[in-house]
A and B are shown apart, each in its own frame.
Chain A
Amino acid sequence: MNTRTSHALSRRAFLRAGAVSLALPFLDAMLPRGWGAAAAAPPKRMVCICTALGMHAPDFFPAGVGRDYQDSRYLGFLKDLRDDFTVFSGFAHPGNEAANHLSEYTFLTAATHPELPGFGNSISFDQVIARSIGTATRFPSLELASSPSHVRSLAVNSGGVNLPGEDKPSRVFARLFLEGSDAEVKQEEARLAEGRSVLDAVGAQARRLGTQLGAADRDKLDEYFSSVREMERRLQAMQAWSHTPKPKVAIPPPQDVRDSADMIGKMDALFNLLPLALATDSTRVITLFVGMSGVPPIPGVTMGDHELSHHGQEPEKIEQLRLIEEAKSKSIAALLQKLKATEEGGQSLLRNTAVLFGSNLGNASNHSTSNLPILLAGGGYQHGRHLVVAPQGNLKQSTPLSNLFVSLMQRMGIETDKFGTSTGVVTEI
């Protein structure tokens, strides 16, 4: 095992040590195919993170607007990064007012009325980007989840189906970086080839069966067929990539978090891999869904995160909720620090990576989906401010979050001026 990681250079110690040491310049060996130290500008990347249960608003949103805002309790953990992010008030997804927790499904899709019978979801904007630029990297996108109960990601494909999310850091690491012995590589190549011939056969069979079917059945078979074809393409891409060695990184394979309620631990373990996944250009689009966890192992927390989010203004519950959300804020801060401390081509990785963090609920205690907590870091934007985007600054109203999505899509090179319920773009950043 790990024949490659065992060749780790002295960077191992640094990478293990955490954020600061990531400032070490990249070795050429670590640079991905296609763009070297001397090549043109590094690619643009995007990370979207959604936490399911909101962020207690009085502790998230800062007082004051513009540059002179005062840190809220949670933003205090990001104070060293103040010029690297923008915090927004007044975003919401129109048509999700009654969506309750089902707004989880539409956070990146902006589809309306998930609560109504017959609801069909639509593609999430990260997948629009992945479809456009994903072929440049080994993985078109990475879907991650930190959640014990349902391993589902934020990403939704063009058929409106949720993509599964990976929650085990060990598996993410293996997919990104583990190469195995020559024999194992050969075996893997054989497996990919076998997979392709299998899919080729079942695809042909689906086509044959499809000819005599009525509309509803044909839709089902079409979905099967297009999934098979999509997987064939991915296997083909994997085959092509299998001749390119995976990037070498100097950290040992991570251990999976044992306690299923340890959502923060899982989040941190996955966050540790993100800068590496991006810096090695293994992928340029990552989503991470932080779900509900039960009673997380945080000193002072005795109740489940879902119960606590319904605090009903009980001070003790809010106190415990804060402990969880402070831990989340610290994790986000650590992720941003790591991205900032990683250099490529004389720039920080954070500059080339837009990180969207937020929640599908504005106030989980009453399931409000208005005034969502939204924070955008990095990506080369103009930061350092608290922007109130609600029309006329009136937080009883809101601006579609899709406007921000359109801005992000444009920055990622997608030529569009519309997504979901957008009415424009965010011009202030």
Chain B
Amino acid sequence: MDQAAKDRFSLGAAVIAVVGLWLWLLTGLPGFRGSPAARAARVPSHELPGPVRAFIESRCIDCHDAGTHKGGLDFENLPAQLDDAPVEAKWTLVFDRVQRGEMPPRQKPQPPEDERTALLESLGGFLSQHDAARHAQTGRVAWRRLNRAEYENTVHDLLAIDTPLADLLPEDGSAHGFDNVSEGLRLTAPQIEAYLLAADTALDAAINLKPRPPLKKERFAFLDLPAIQERLAAPHSAKNPRLFRALPDAVVMFVNQANKATPFGTPTRDAGLYRVRLSAYGYQNNGGPTVVARLLATDRVNYRLVGAFDLPTDTPRVVEITVPLQENEVLVLAAAGCGVAADGTDVRKVGGEDFTGSGLAAQWAEIEGPILDAWPPPSVPLVFGGLPVKPLADDHRPDRGYEVAADVSMGDLDKTIATFAQRAFRRPVQNEDVAPYAQLAHEALSEGAGLENALRRSFKAILTSPEFLFLREAPGRLDDYALASRLSYFFWSTMPDEELLRLAAQGKLREPATLYAQTERLLTSPRAHVFTQNFCGQWLTLRAIAATTPDKRLYPEFDDLLQAAMVTETELFFEEVLRGNLGVATLIDANFSMLNRRLAEHYGIAGVRGEEFRKVSLPAASHRGGLLTQASVLKVTANGTLTSPVVRGVWVMKRFLGRDTQPPPADAGSIEPDTRGSTTIREQLAKHRRSERCAACHKFMDPYGFALENYDVIGGWRESYRKLKGEPVTDPVTHKKLDYSLGLPVDPSGELPDGRAFADMDELKKLLLDQKDVVARNFVNNLVAYGTGAGVTFSDRAQVEKILGQARADAYPVRSLIHDIVQSPLFQTK
């Protein structure tokens, strides 16, 4: 099942909040009590170990028989066949709940310690044995195919191209929270069809024998752009407001969305990297928000943000960036922070000439590219190997500047194919491994195809082959090549590079010191940013950042730049923790974060200027620090209008503490939330918590959500809730009335299930600090799932505990944990 979808749903849906009264193995109600003999007869499965049967018969069956089946658990009909995944999951949960002392519930007679131990040993052994037998036979990780991102990265590296490919492939399923876990990566016929298409697309891009594209070099003054001139020439009217003003050295735009007016440069003829320079400044900005230049690239259908730059007022700033552009794209200058006037006037009414508010003064721009290191591009020698590629004698064909020599021997052809296959398969190949692919080229040649088409056919097959698409590991300890791939896909989401393959060939990679050094090398490389993105994107569900859209009337300060900054903060924070090898406690609470001006303002932290992120020490009363109070997490756990303590609580339990909350049984009932605003969501929830049935689960999840009520749906600090009715709040700059007013106050206090009370999130974080073990265990479990491609199963637990044991004394330094995982048999065994 698609875990991303599960997360998206559970997050977007605050309603579950008040509704999901999730009962599992619950307490309280007196169960039917039959005679011991009758009860004994009610446990059917004789395949269970004796102590497990005995425990269930004496301690559990009253509430969990076919008649009562509290929390949906019915031991009379729960089979012992662990091959059935849902059955295994249920037994594992039984183990966990007894181990944590949650079952039998406190109100019931408690089993003596030796009885509990006997059960845990027996049931644990039963689960372990089954799991370990399976691992011994086929390993923890079944062959896993590359997911879309890995496919794209791998083909990019293999062919030295950067043509987008992932979008050509169907979305991947995920399991155990990640879309690179074998279990979720399925295959269908349409997927195979998509691989054929993607291979064609990649090879089209790689076999680029065109003449060298000319260098495009353009410079314009924005004032001279025809679209701008046209708008400046038209008189201002209410119907056609003039939103620009001409200055001697610039044109000022007073609105943020000027997409149609300001495309500059001619559409790119050749895809590639382009260097863009731009000069602009903020104009008439008297205490309003910072004016920001936003640079977008567009094919005039879709727009994508390629850069955003804070502009000083009245002082021109020249910015320079390198942008990858596709064929036929243009750049567009847009803005943020424009159109804000202290006298409250609207530029659409008064027109650009008379407007007194803020604008973006655009001076000039330069575009240069495509930037080429070599021609023919590096993809050509990668495809043709040693085969000679020569310039065409006469270059009157615009689409053809080079050709591959026709008089190539079969031997050279086969060698080219073998070299490509070896790189594509990420391990050495024997003749018989390549023969079927070479055969395709031979057939094509015998059918009269040219050399280029013959090679294409064989490469297309290689890119669609099981050897390429699957990470193939053999049971037992990984060989060096499999280890190289695991490392590379863990940290770079792509094929191993030359150094890894060389060490694998020398048989050195598995040496602990070499492995350590290589892990360091991969982690330190800028390429490891994809690890941060893919791991945090899924572990912390940051990929859902755009899943909900904040209501513009309630949250006028929200925009795409803020949203992008939220994710960047968390990613850079994670990388900073990793870089400094800081302890997991930093994830719970930290005295720093990674901020830029936009996000610092959002957090109410002064003195951070510019769009660049940097490490910022958090002031004492910032109410920030650690992952849970970062805007990204707070946004993905809210919907567009309201927060729910339950949804956030469930998120903290699952993502941070690694505890699943069980889905509600059919008879839990559900009550529709009422969000009309006369009561806070917390008050509505209190009704449910008065029921003992409901409180039994909600006492675990709600407290975290209560403390986070001080943070609104976009992660801003609040002491009272915003609502649409009532006395409107006034904008401090324009003095205009906003659409929202302030309603009921927030009550962030609560009590953990163990009885410890907290007044707010700052205090709760202190309490959470003694859950470091739990946080670290969950962090390692997630890393193991992501890094190996299989979730942590019952018999893996001992190895996870060993990794944790090594790091406990040092308070779980995060980078060391990663090293410990890589050095462990868990990582080095299939």
Stretch of A9-17, A27-35, A222-230, A332-340 that contacts chain B? A222-230
**Contact (Cβ within 8 A) A366 B672:** yes
Contacts of B668 in A (CB 8 A): 98
Q: What 1/0 flags go to A346-369 for Cβ under 8 Å of B?
A: 000000000000000001011110
Cβ–Cβ contact A366 & B663, under 8 A: no
Interface code A266-308, partner B: CB below 8 Å = 1, 0 otherwise? 0000000000000000000000000000110000001110110
Contact of B9 among A101, A157, A163, A216 (CB under 8 A): A101
Question: CB < 8 Å: which of A214, A224, A303 contacts B641?
Answer: A303
B509 surroundings in chain A (CB, below 8 A): none
Q: If the complex has contacts A116-B663, A197-B440, A313-B675, are A163 and B670 also in contact, measured as CB distance less than 8 A?
A: no
Q: How far is the CB of B744 from chain A (nearest CB, A)?
A: 15
Task: Select which of A121, A227, A302 is within 8 A of B551 by beta carbon.
Answer: A302
Which residues in B have their C-beta under 8 angstroms from that of A67?
none
Question: Whole-angstrom distance between the alpha carbons of A213 and B187 in the complex?
Answer: 18
Q: Say yes or no for A194: interface residue by CB 8 A criterion.
A: yes
Interface contacts beyond A198-B440, A366-B15: sample of 16 additional A-B pairs, CB < 8 Å, sorted by A: A98-B663, A101-B9, A116-B663, A152-B171, A198-B457, A201-B440, A217-B142, A217-B472, A224-B466, A224-B469, A230-B192, A231-B193, A294-B549, A303-B549, A312-B15, A367-B15
Distance in Å: Cβ of B138 to nearest Cβ of chain A: 3
Cβ of A133 within 8 Å of any chain B Cβ, yes or no, is no
Q: How far is the CA of A157 from the CA of B190 in the complex (A)?
A: 11
Which 9 pairs show the lowest CB-CB distances between chains A and B?
A: A118-B85, A312-B675, A214-B138, A164-B170, A101-B9, A230-B189, A216-B142, A97-B666, A216-B138
Task: Find out whether the CB atom of B663 lies under 8 angstroms from the CB atom of A204.
Answer: no
B704 sits at the interface (CB 8 A): no
Residues of chain A with a CB closer than 8 A to B640's CB: 303-304, 306-307
B1-36, CB under 8 A of A: which get 1 and which 0?
110011011101111100100000000000000000
Given A118-B84, A202-B461: A197 touches B443 (CB 8 Å cut-off): yes
16 CB < 8 A contacts A-B: A116-B86, A151-B170, A161-B173, A191-B200, A198-B460, A202-B466, A204-B436, A205-B466, A217-B472, A220-B144, A220-B145, A224-B466, A231-B189, A302-B553, A313-B675, A367-B15
Contact string against A for B residues 187-199, beta-carbon threshold 8 Å, 1 for contact and 0 otherwise: 1111111101000
Please report the C-alpha to C-alpha distance between residue A253 and residue B87 in the assembled complex, in whole angstroms. 51
Question: A202-214, CB under 8 A of B: which get 1 and which 0?
Answer: 1011100100011
| B671 contacts the other chain (CB 8 A) | yes
Chain A residues 111-146 with CB under 8 Å of chain B are: 113-121
User: Complex Cα distance A23/B88, Å?
Assistant: 59
**Interface membership of chain B positions 134-149, coded 1 if the CB is closer than 8 angstroms to chain A and 0 otherwise:** 1001110011110000
Report which of A119, A160, A202 forms a contact with B86, defined as CB distance below 8 A: A119
Specify which of B173, B188, B664 is in contact with A163 (CB 8 Å cutoff).
B188
- Decide yes or no whether A149 CB sits under 8 A from chain B: yes
How many interface residues does B have (CB within 8 Å)?
A: 82
Q: Closest chain B residue to A121 by CB distance?
A: B1
Q: B475: shortest Cβ distance to chain A, in Å? A: 6
Name the A residues within 8 Å of B134 (CB-CB).
Answer: 216
Minimum Cβ distance to chain A for residue B96 (Å)? 13
Residues of B within 8 A of A116 (CB): 86, 89, 663
Q: Count of A residues near B, CB < 8 Å?
A: 73
Shortest C-beta distance, A313 to chain B (Å), equals 5
Residues of B within 8 A of A221 (CB): 143, 466, 470
Given contacts A119-B86, A224-B469, whether A219 and B142 have CB atoms under 8 Å apart is yes
Report Cα–Cα, A353/B547, bound state, in Å.
36
Q: What A residues does B85 contact at CB under 8 A?
A: 117-118, 120
Whether A102 sits at the interface, judged by CB under 8 Å, is yes
Asked if A164 and B196 sit within 8 Å, CB to CB, the answer is no
A133 CB to closest chain B CB (Å) equals: 18
B805 within 8 A of A: no
Q: A198-B440, A201-B436, A313-B674 are in contact. Are A217 and B143 (CB under 8 A)?
A: yes
- CB <8 Å contact, B171 and A151: yes
CB proximity to A under 8 Å, residues B316-333: none
Task: Report yes or no: B467 in contact with A307, Cβ–Cβ below 8 A.
Answer: no
What's the minimum C-beta distance from B70 to chain A, rounded to whole angstroms?
15
Q: Are B139 and A214 in contact (CB under 8 A)?
A: yes
Q: How far is the CA of A102 from the CA of B186 in the complex (A)?
A: 18
A:365-381 near B, CB below 8 Å: 365-368
B187 touches A366 (CB 8 A): no
CA distance A335 to B2 in the complex (A): 31
Indicate if the CB atoms of B551 and A194 lie closer than 8 Å: no
Of the candidates A105, A164, A310, which one forms a contact with B191 in the assembled complex, judged by CB atoms under 8 Å apart?
A164
A307 to B547, CA, bound (A): 10
Within 8 Å of chain B (Cβ to Cβ): is A234? yes
Question: Are A98 and B665 also in contact (CB < 8 A) when A214-B139, A224-B187 are?
Answer: yes
| A-chain residues with CB within 8 Å of residue B145 when the two chains form the complex | 220, 224
Whole-angstrom distance between the Cβ of B589 and the nearest chain A Cβ: 31
* A residues less than 8 Å from B89 (CB atoms): 116-118
Q: Is B656 an interface residue (CB 8 A)?
A: no
Known contacts A118-B88, A307-B639; A163 and B190 CB within 8 A of each other: yes
Chain B residues packing against A (C-beta within 8 Å): 1-2, 5-6, 8-10, 12-16, 19, 84-86, 88-89, 134, 137-139, 142-145, 170-171, 173, 182, 186-194, 196, 200, 301-302, 436-437, 439-440, 443, 457, 460-461, 464-467, 469-470, 472, 475, 547-549, 551-553, 639-642, 663-666, 668, 670-676, 724
A182 at the interface (CB under 8 A from B): no
Q: Does A195 contact B (CB under 8 A)?
A: yes
- From A100, A157, A201, B461 is in contact (CB under 8 Å) with A201
Minimum distance in angstroms from B503 CB to a CB of chain A: 26
In the bound complex, residues from chain B placing their C-beta under 8 Å from that of A302 are 551-553
Residues of A within 8 A of B (CB): 97-98, 100-102, 104-105, 113-121, 149-152, 157, 159-164, 191, 194-195, 197-199, 201-202, 204-206, 209, 213-217, 219-221, 223-224, 227-228, 230-231, 234, 256, 258, 294-295, 302-304, 306-307, 310, 312-314, 316, 363, 365-368
Residues of chain B lying within 8 A (CB to CB) of residue A195: 196
Q: How far is the CB of B311 from chain A (nearest CB, A)?
A: 29
Shortest Cβ distance from A204 into chain B, in angstroms?
Answer: 6
Contact yes or no, B551 A366, CB < 8 A = no
Tell me, in angstroms, the Cα distance from A159 to B185 when the chains sit together.
Answer: 12
Q: Are B666 and A194 in contact (CB under 8 A)?
A: no
Residues of A within 8 A of B139 (CB): 214, 216
B673–A312 touching, CB < 8 Å: yes
Q: How far is the CB of B33 from chain A (nearest CB, A)?
A: 29
Q: B16 touches which one: A100, A194, A234 (CB < 8 A)?
A: A100
Interchain nearest-CB distance for A167 vs B (Å): 12
Which B residue sits closest to A363, measured CB to CB?
A: B672
On whether A313 and B464 interact (CB within 8 A), knowing A114-B1, A161-B187, A231-B193, the answer reads no
Q: Does A159 contact B84, Cβ atoms closer than 8 Å? A: no
For B472, the chain A residues whose CB sits under 8 A away are 209, 217
Given contacts A98-B666, A227-B189, contact A209 B466 (CB under 8 A): yes
* Given known A-B contacts A198-B196, A310-B13, A227 and B188 have beta carbons under 8 A apart: yes
Measured in the bound complex, the distance between the Cα atoms of B302 and A117 in whole Å is 38
Q: Bound state CA distance, A394 and B2, in angstroms?
A: 34
Asked if residues A206 and B186 are in contact (CB atoms below 8 Å), the reply is no
- Closest residue of chain A to B667 (Cβ to Cβ) is A97
* Chain A hits for B190, CB < 8 A: 163-164, 231
Known: A105-B1, A227-B191. A220 touches B552 (CB 8 A): no
In the bound complex, do residue A307 and residue B548 qualify as a contact, i.e. CB atoms below 8 Å apart?
A: yes
Given A117-B85, A118-B88, A231-B189, A220 and B15 contact (CB-CB distance below 8 Å): no
Contact of A119 among B1, B457, B666 (CB under 8 A): B1
Residues of chain B within 8 A (CB-CB) of A152 are: 170-171
Query: B137 and A115: CB pair below 8 A?
Result: no
What residues of chain A lie closer than 8 Å to B12, measured between beta carbons? 306
B167 nearest CB neighbor, chain A only: A151
* B647 nearest CB across to chain A (Å): 11
In Å, the complex CA distance between A201 and B468 comes to 13
